[in-house]
């Protein structure tokens, strides 16, 4: 690695934004701001802002707990309370954190919810999660937004109508009641304008991986890039500024012909370009990432960065159709696409970003992602003749991160990619 890691301006901005949000949350009791617990995929951040409420994302808390090595204890706590070893560890981590006093990632106590916004996309476990939370916070209203699945590979008018009617008759009235404010569609439209601008920028950012070397890692660094757009800042001017700043920084890297920044500095030689399917492991995130950058492997696209919203095919929040576009946003998240759509999308990524290989990180406790990944691998291998790799870990349960297993599998995968490159090179010479 060539340089010391210097914090880029965008990193500082993001840190400040998140710290600000958590500060506001810790003061919610005094300021009287209402708190909405909700999920990342299918999040209605703009609507929450339109009612001047504050969002809490339990998955983000869980992943932060994972990164801070607290998740193992939280999970054990939830298991002591009767939860099975077999179920989603995000849920258990969140419940364990709650049972431990609900101390958030920044060390400050999170306020209890005033509303549980059960707007979930592409995963049934979210519903079970909030049913559990509802019992822990008796009396807190729950607003349910059920997102229909893109089973036929498209969004139909009746799906759209169903979403809009739920927003109109279920979600908005509950938000009005909790916030004590009337719904203001013009205010929402203004917020959506900012969303669309941030969405334009994030598409451009992830498109920069077309460059060789890729200026960014779209998975390991990608999870930081999607932070603001997924954690309640979509629709705010701060998010637009953040993405403008980030984009500028990345363009500068492209101009200078630089590779991605890693925790140990700049990656000097890009040896392998990968597309990765599945969420990362959080408990050993740095170690996990190092296994890649040490080998000169850069991820040029990942499905995980599309889980909180998919803007690749042109979807943007639309101020002219506020509720319809909120509905479309929810239906467009990655895990709400059917398997053929997901495979097509991955194929597009592999082709457009000229990946050398496709890798699945299968998460033990996440059926939403995991069920179907083996079929995806087979299809992509057959369609593109590309080497595919498979590793297994978990999001936040440290018991399921086996460094040596993952390393062995990755070593063989990279070896295969290396041989492939040599053969390809020889063929080109011939």
Partner 1 sequence: MNAAPLGAAFKPDKSRFMFAALQPLVETCKQTAFDLHFRHAKNWKAAEEGRVLVGYMPIYFPREVVHASRGLAAGILGGGDRKQIIKGDAYYQSYICHMPRGIIEMALDDNLNDFDGFIFPSICDVIRNLSGMFRMLGKGKFVKYMDFPQNFLPAVGGVFYKKELLHVQEEIFKINGYRPSTDELNHSIALYNENRALTEDIYDIRQQFPWRLSFEDLYFILRAGLAMPVEEHNNILSQVLDHIRQDIGEPMDKIKVVVSGAFCEQPPPGVIKSIEIAGCYVVDDDLLLGSRWIQGDIDADSDDPIGAIVDAYLKQSTFSSTVYDVGNPKESRLIDLARRRQADGILFAAPSFCDPALLDRPQLQKACDDAGVRYISFQYSENTGQFKVIKEQVGAFADSIKLWEEELVN
Residues lying near ligand SF4 in the complex (CB under 6 A):
88, 90, 123, 125-126, 366-369, 395
Question: What angle do helix axes 373-384 and 339-352 make, rounded to 10 degrees?
Answer: 40
141 binds, among partner 1, ligand SF4, none (CB under 5 to 8 A by kind): none
By CB under 8 A, name the one of 86, 139, 314, 427 that touches partner 1.
Answer: 86
Neighbour count for residue 114 (Cβ, 10 Å):
18
Q: 66, 97, 96: which is closest to 83 by C-alpha?
A: 96
CB atoms < 10 A from the CB of 52, how many? 12
Q: ∠ CA 118-360-14 to the nearest 5 degrees?
A: 55
The residue whose two tokens read 């291998």 is: 381
CA atoms within 13 A on the CB side of 105: 21
CB of 367 to partner 1, least distance (A): 4
Within 13 A of 202's CA, how many CA atoms are on the CB side?
A: 32
Per-residue binding letters, 292-331, with partner 1 (x by CB under 8 A): ----------------------------------------
CA–CA gap between residue 430 and residue 422 (Å, rounded): 12
Q: Which of 233, 166, 237, 189 is nearest to 50 (CA)?
A: 189
| Contact range with partner 1 by CB under 8 A, out of 7-15, 232-240, 261-269, 370-378 | 370-378
Q: Write the CB contacts of 381 (distance below 8 Å, at least 6 apart in sequence).
A: 358, 387, 388
Please tell me whether residue 381 binds partner 1 under the rule CB under 8 A: no
Q: How far is the CB of 238 from ligand SF4 (least distance, A)?
A: 26
With binding defined as CB under 8 A, does residue 166 bind partner 1?
yes
Q: How would DSSP label each residue in 198-247?
A: HHHHHHHHHHGGGSSS-SS-TTTTHHHHTHHHHTT-TTSHHHHHHHHHHH
**Cα–Cα distance for residue pair 95/126, rounded to 1 Å:** 13
Q: Indicate the residue among 109 and 378 with the shorter CB distance to partner 1.
A: 378
DSSP letter at 263?
A: T
Q: With CB cut-offs between 5 and 8 Å by kind, which of ligand SF4, partner 1, none does residue 90 bind?
A: ligand SF4
Decide whether 40 or 258 has the Cβ nearer to ligand SF4. 40
Residue 344 binds: one of ligand SF4, partner 1, none (C-beta under 5 to 8 A by kind): none
**Tokens found for residue 361:** 């990180």
The smaller minimum CB distance to ligand SF4, of residues 5 and 374, is found at 374
Per CB under 8 A, does 339 bind partner 1?
A: yes
Minimal distance, residue 134 CB to partner 1, in Å = 9
> Is 367 a residue that touches partner 1 (CB under 8 A)?
yes
Name residues contacting partner 1, limited to 62-81 (CB under 8 A).
81
Nearest distance in Å: CB 208, ligand SF4: 27
Name the binder of 45 from partner 1, ligand SF4, none, CB < 5-8 A by kind.
none
Nearer to partner 1, 236 or 365 (CB): 365
CA 328 to chain centroid: 18
Tokens 């504050």 correspond to 54
Whether the Cβ atoms of residue 143 and residue 116 lie closer than 8 Å to each other? yes
112 is a contact residue toward partner 1 (CB under 8 A)? no
Of 128 and 187, which has the nearer Cβ to partner 1? 128
Closest C-alpha to 394, from 280, 304, 240, 269: 280
223 binds partner 1 (CB under 8 A): no
Q: Name which of ligand SF4, partner 1, none residue 187 binds, using a CB cut-off of 5 to 8 Å depending on partner kind.
A: none
Using CB atoms within 10 Å of the CB of residue 190, give its burial: 0 to 12 exposed, 13 to 18 middle, 19+ buried.
Answer: middle
Which residue has the CB atom at the shortest distance from ligand SF4? Answer: 366
Q: Does 281 bind partner 1 (CB under 8 A)?
A: no
Q: How far is the CB of 361 from ligand SF4 (least distance, A)?
A: 12
What is the closest distance, in whole angstroms, from the C-beta atom of residue 374 to partner 1 in the complex? 6
Residue with tokens 């929810």, as numbered in its chain? 330
State in angstroms the smallest separation of the CB of 79 from ligand SF4.
16
Nearest approach, Cβ of residue 186 and ligand SF4 (Å): 34
Q: In terms of Cα–Cα distance, which of 137, 231, 131, 237 is closest to 178?
A: 137
Among 273, 316, 317, 364, binds partner 1 (CB under 8 A): 364
Binding segment toward partner 1, per CB under 8 A, in 23-31, 107-115, 122-130, 229-237: 122-130
Binding partner selected for residue 258 from ligand SF4, partner 1, none, CB under the kind-specific 5 to 8 Å limit: none
Rounded-to-integer distance, Cα 195 and Cα 237, Å: 9
């Amino acid at each position: 690695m060539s340089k010391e890691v210097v914090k880029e301006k965008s990193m500082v901005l993001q840190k400040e934004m998140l710290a600000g949000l958590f500060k506001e949350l810790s003061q919610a009791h005094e300021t009287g701001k209402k708190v909405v617990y909700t999920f990342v995929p299918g999040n209605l951040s703009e609507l929450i802002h339109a009612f001047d409420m504050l969002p809490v994302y339990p998955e983000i808390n869980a992943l932060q707990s994972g990164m801070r090595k607290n998740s193992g204890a939280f999970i054990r706590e939830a298991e002591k309370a009767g939860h099975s070893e077999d179920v989603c560890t995000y849920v258990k981590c969140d419940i364990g954190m709650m049972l431990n006093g609900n101390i958030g990632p920044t060390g400050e106590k999170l306020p209890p919810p005033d509303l549980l916004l059960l707007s979930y996309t592409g995963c049934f476990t979210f519903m079970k999660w909030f049913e559990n939370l509802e019992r822990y916070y008796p009396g807190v209203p729950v607003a349910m937004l059920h997102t229909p699945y893109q089973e036929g590979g498209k969004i139909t008018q009746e799906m759209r109508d169903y979403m809009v009617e739920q927003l109109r008759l279920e979600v908005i009235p509950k938000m009005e009641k909790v916030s004590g404010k009337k719904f203001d569609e013009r205010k929402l439209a203004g917020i959506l304008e900012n969303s669309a601008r941030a969405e334009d920028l994030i598409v451009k950012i992830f498109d920069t991986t077309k460059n060789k070397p890729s200026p960014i890692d779209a998975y390991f660094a990608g999870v930081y890039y999607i932070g603001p757009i997924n954690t309640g800042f979509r629709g705010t001017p701060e998010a637009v500024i953040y993405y403008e700043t980030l984009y500028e920084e990345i363009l500068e890297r492209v101009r200078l012909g630089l590779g991605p920044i890693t925790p140990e500095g700049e990656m000097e030689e890009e040896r392998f370009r990968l597309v990765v399917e599945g969420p990362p492991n959080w408990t050993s995130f740095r170690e996990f990432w190092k296994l890649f950058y040490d080998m000169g492997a850069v991820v040029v696209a990942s499905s995980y960065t599309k889980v909180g919203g998919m803007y690749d095919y042109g979807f943007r929040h639309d101020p002219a159709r506020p509720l319809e576009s909120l509905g479309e946003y929810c239906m467009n998240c990655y895990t709400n696409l059917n398997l053929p759509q997901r495979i097509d999308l991955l194929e597009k990524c592999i082709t457009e970003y000229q990946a050398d290989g496709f890798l699945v990180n299968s998460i033990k406790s996440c059926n939403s992602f995991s069920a179907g990944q083996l079929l995806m691998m087979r299809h992509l291998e057959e369609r593109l003749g590309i080497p595919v790799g498979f590793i297994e870990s978990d999001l936040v349960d440290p018991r399921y991160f086996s460094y040596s297993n993952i390393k062995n599998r990755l070593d063989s995968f990279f070896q295969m990619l290396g041989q492939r490159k040599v053969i390809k090179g020889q063929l080109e010479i011939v």
